[in-house]
């Protein structure tokens, strides 16, 4: 009996899941594994989140169906954050939508705006849910390789005219996972202009906007005049507040696009637990000091990792944002071979670039998910892998 649909069968294996399987085996063997593969930092959630969740969960009304409307207090807190952070004014009722983390909504957006055969522009390497959502929507996928040539920016003007004419959705993510690239404001302006000209929906995935360093301040695409006609921006509390497992975020943008996404979600989920939305609202009201503390802790890790990896023989740029380092693999090996060797022989989990699409070949990603001392130890172990490649 055939079990998988053709669409499901065409989905590639999810690389982080495979790393987790190998990690469990190594831990069972008693190995000391340093996991730098998944973007899941070891920071605890804010105290205000834990306190508010405990209080809210004790209220019976918080256990009712949230539906897509969710908790107005969370919508208002998200809108207030967008105003304080970006100077963008949004209607909490129609231009903000609570999400079960941004991942599900990024994938569901494809179902909301694409018909079979429409072209969807997907950056590669990139977050796998972009490809997954487009694939499940039966879209015609146009891969755009992220390479140093364009500073890892998706330049839509390079699309072939015939593909641009059929394009209906593009996924962008800046600050970028995995490359740590950032998007200048003039880039966002010309990208919005292109999407308006070609009637393309711009899905702007922005979960790392607050994980920034050295005075850099990441923008919102909604700051660009005219962006609200074509763009939907996605935010999450996962990275900025150490709340990956809480699965809470929001989409922001035009009421029309919010309504389209909400319509699809109505058929596949019933919203975020209301007590979690209450906790998320409390966090957003205190966002600025919480973010400042987290960024400083990430900066310490970034600086320690860059110094140690350079000493180990790697060419490492110093990123302005995100919790990642995007590093060329040593000559003479592939990213998958390098990552497999690092995990199996040195018990260090890194993400091979090819796991995020063929456009990522030649690089591997390190996530700053452990404290500085462990990052230095991981760099020392990876030096042995460099020696293996050169042997």
Which residues lie below 8 Å from residue 359, measured CB to CB, with a gap of 6+?
Answer: 123, 124, 125, 143, 144, 145, 146, 147, 353
Label residue 19 by pLDDT band (50, 70, 90): confident
pLDDT at residue number 357: 87
**Average pLDDT for 314-337:** 94
pLDDT at 388 over 80: no
- The candidate with the shortest Cα–Cα distance to 130, out of 229, 234, 224, 209, is 234
Q: What is the pLDDT of residue 11?
A: 78
Asked if residue 391 has pLDDT above 70, the reply is no
**pLDDT digit string (tens) for 213-263?**
999 999 999 999 999 999 999 999 999 999 999 999 999 999 999 999 999
Q: What is the DSSP letter of 321?
A: B
Tell me the three state secondary structure of residue 145: strand
Work out the mean pLDDT of the chain and round it to a whole number.
94
pLDDT of the residue at 241:
96
Kindly tell me if the per-residue pLDDT of 134 is higher than 70.
Answer: yes
Instruction: Report the range out of 14-18, 248-252, 355-359 with the highest average pLDDT.
Output: 248-252
Farthest CA pair distance, the chain: 64
Q: Per-residue confidence at 99, pLDDT binned at 50, 70, 90?
A: very high
> For the ranges 7-21, 38-52, 344-358, 373-387, which has the lowest average pLDDT?
7-21
pLDDT at 285: 98
Compare 388 and 78 and report the one with higher pLDDT: 78
Q: pLDDT tens digits for 179-202?
A: 999 999 999 999 999 999 999 999
| Tens-place pLDDT, residues 264-311 | 999 999 999 999 999 999 999 999 999 999 999 999 999 999 999 999
In order, the DSSP letters of 2-26 are --S-HHHHTSPP-HHHHHHHHHHHH
- CA dihedral (216, 253, 88, 81) in degrees, to 10, reads -70
Burial (CB < 10 A; 0-12, 13-18, 19+), residue 377, is middle
Radius of gyration of the chain (CA): 21
Are 56 and 278 in contact, with CB atoms under 8 Å apart? yes
Tell me the three state secondary structure of residue 172.
strand
Q: What is the DSSP track for 100-126?
A: SHHHHHHHHHHHHH--TT-EEEEEES-
Q: Under a CB-based contact definition with an 8 Å cutoff, are residues 241 and 281 in contact?
A: no
User: Tell me, what's the pLDDT at 358?
Assistant: 85
Three-state secondary structure string covering 51-77: HHHHHHHCCHHHHCCCCCCCCHHHHHH
Cα–Cα distance, 68 to 262 (Å, whole number)? 7
Looking at residue 389, its pLDDT comes to 56
Residue 114 binned pLDDT confidence (cut-offs 50, 70, 90):
very high
- β-partners of residue 141 are 120
pLDDT at 385 over 90: no
Which of 74-78, 329-333, 377-381 is predicted with the least confidence, judged by mean pLDDT?
A: 329-333
How far is 149 from 390, CA to CA, in rounded Å?
Answer: 27
Domains of the chain: residue spans and CATH: 6-45+289-386 (3.90.1150.10), 47-285 (3.40.640.10)
Residue given tokens 């760099």 in the structure block: 379
- Extended strands (E) in the chain: 34-35, 96-99, 119-124, 140-145, 167-173, 201-205, 231-236, 249-253, 324-328, 348-349, 351-352, 363-367
pLDDT at 14: 65
Share of the chain above pLDDT 90, in %: 86
Q: For residue 117, is pLDDT > 60?
A: yes
């Amino acid at each position: 009996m055939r079990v998988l649909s053709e669409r499901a069968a065409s989905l590639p294996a999810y690389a982080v899941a495979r790393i987790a399987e190998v990690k469990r085996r190594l831990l069972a063997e008693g190995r000391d594994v340093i996991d730098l593969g998944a973007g899941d930092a070891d920071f605890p959630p804010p105290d205000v989140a834990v306190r508010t969740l405990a209080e809210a969960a004790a209220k019976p009304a918080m256990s009712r169906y949230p539906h897509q409307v969710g908790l107005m207090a969370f919508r208002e807190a998200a809108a207030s954050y967008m105003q304080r952070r970006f100077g963008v004014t949004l209607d909490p009722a129609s231009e903000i939508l609570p999400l079960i983390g941004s991942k599900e909504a990024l994938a569901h957006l494809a179902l909301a705006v694409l018909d079979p055969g429409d072209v969807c522009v997907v950056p590669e390497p990139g977050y796998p849910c972009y490809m997954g959502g487009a694939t499940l929507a039966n879209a015609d996928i146009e891969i755009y390789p992220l390479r140093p040539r364009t500073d890892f920016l998706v330049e839509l003007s390079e699309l072939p005219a015939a593909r641009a004419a059929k394009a209906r959705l593009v996924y962008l993510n800046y600050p970028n996972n995995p490359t740590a690239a950032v998007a200048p404001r003039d880039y966002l302006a010309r990208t919005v202009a292109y999407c308006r000209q070609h009637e393309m929906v711009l899905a702007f995935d922005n979960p790392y906007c607050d994980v920034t360093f050295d005075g850099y301040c990441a923008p919102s695409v909604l700051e660009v005049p005219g962006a609200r006609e074509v763009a939907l921006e996605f935010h999450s509390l996962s990275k900025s507040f150490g709340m990956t497992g809480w699965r809470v975020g929001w989409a922001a943008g035009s009421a029309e696009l919010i309504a389209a996404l909400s319509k699809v979600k109505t058929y596949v989920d019933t919203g975020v637990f209301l007590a979690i939305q209450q906790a998320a609202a409390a966090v957003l009201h205190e966002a600025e000091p919480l973010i400042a503390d987290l960024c400083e802790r990430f900066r310490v890790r970034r600086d320690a990792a860059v110094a140690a990896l350079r000493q180990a023989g790697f060419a490492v740029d110093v990123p302005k944002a995100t919790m990642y380092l995007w590093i060329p693999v040593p000559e003479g090996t592939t990213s998958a071979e390098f990552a497999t060797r690092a995990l199996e022989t040195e018990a260090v989990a890194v993400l091979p670039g090819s796991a995020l699409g063929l456009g990522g070949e030649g690089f591997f990603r390190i996530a700053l998910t452990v404290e500085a001392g462990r990052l230095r130890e991981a760099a020392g172990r990876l030096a042995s892998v460099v020696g293996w490649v050169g042997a």
